[in-house]
Amino acid sequence: MRRLILRRLLISVPLVIGVSLLTFLLQALTPGDTARAILGINYTPEAYAQLRHQLGLDEPLLTQYWHWLTQALRGDLGVSPISGLSVASEIASRLSVTVSLILVTTLVAAALGIGLGVFSAVRGGALGRTVDVLSLAGHSLPSFWLGLALVTVFAVGLRAFPATGYVALDASPGQWALSLVLPVTALAVHGIAVIAKQTRDGMLEVLSREFVRALRAHGVSERSIVFRHALRNAAIPVVTVVGIVFVHLLSGTVLVETVFAMPGLGGLAVDSTTQHDLPMIQGVVVVFTLIVVAVNLLVDLAYSWLNPKVRVR
């Protein structure tokens, strides 16, 4: 177990560096730069050149990246040239919003998706076809469009939930839950559909095996067969899908947080990109990459717990 964790952590180091370098280069290739964003429309060539020199933008790209990397390795993500705020403190103030949104969405999608998948595999018939339709609909409906529809119906029309904003959990647990209902619903539909489909297919495959028929012949209860044996054997691909859904939600939050005006990392990434705030973009990308690394590690550990015979190499 320790070797697995150590191996994954060692692999994550070049991954984080590679992603940060690619982000740096892609951002440098986009039209405009930080100096133009700060100066606005009316500026002289002299003022533009002077500001670029002050910000170090006239240095070679790899030199700029090396300066950022050496600071980041010391735990310093720099200061935003647009707002003048520390990148680390700004990310820390918004991280809880995105983490709450992703964790709650993943839990809802996993609970409903696994429950619906197991139930449809056991019952079959019309419910199985319903899961197929739900899977197709979940893949087809964009989360941002669904978010706008939910706001129109449940926030503007019925006034049942707040349309925008976020309330911290420690400030008011009840308001925190209400502020998450619509964005979580918009994000969870796709995850529920994918997890339900995978769970149903996995359960049907396991329930058709010889050992299941042997358990039934020995008088083992159907409940025990379904939950103790079949679900555990079908769980490894389901865990993989749950991990993929979690990672997919990182990109989904960028649009959903914008729709619901939530002060999370997704909205920060959008604002920083439009303003060419490179230090802030780099910080957000590094945090997202570290989250992906942590999720992949948890998935690998779940494999070992569900089936000790599995050895991730």
CA 10 to chain centre: 22
How many residues are given for the chain?
Answer: 313
Residue identified by tokens 């697995």 is 4
Domains defined along the chain, listed by start: 91-267 (1.10.3720.10)
Residue 277 has pLDDT above 80, yes or no: yes
Mean of the per-residue pLDDT values of the chain: 86
**Furthest-apart CA pair in the chain: how many Å?**
87
CB atoms within 10 A of CB 270: 15
Task: Quote the tokens at residue 302.
Answer: 């779940």
Which value, to the nearest 10 degrees, does the dihedral of the CA atoms of residues 171, 173, 175, 179 take? 100
Whole-angstrom Cα distance, residue 76 to residue 68? 9
Whole-angstrom Cα distance, residue 249 to residue 292? 11
CA 288 to chain centre: 8
- pLDDT tens-digit map of 76-124: 998 999 888 999 999 999 999 999 999 999 999 999 999 888 888 888 7
Find the mean pLDDT for residues 274-285. 90
Residue 288 has pLDDT above 50, yes or no: yes
- pLDDT tens-digit map of 131-171: 777 777 777 778 888 888 999 999 898 888 998 889 989 89
- pLDDT tens-digit map of 232-247: 888 888 998 999 999 8
3-state secondary structure of 79: strand
Of 33-42, 104-113, 159-168, 280-289, give the lowest mean pLDDT range: 33-42
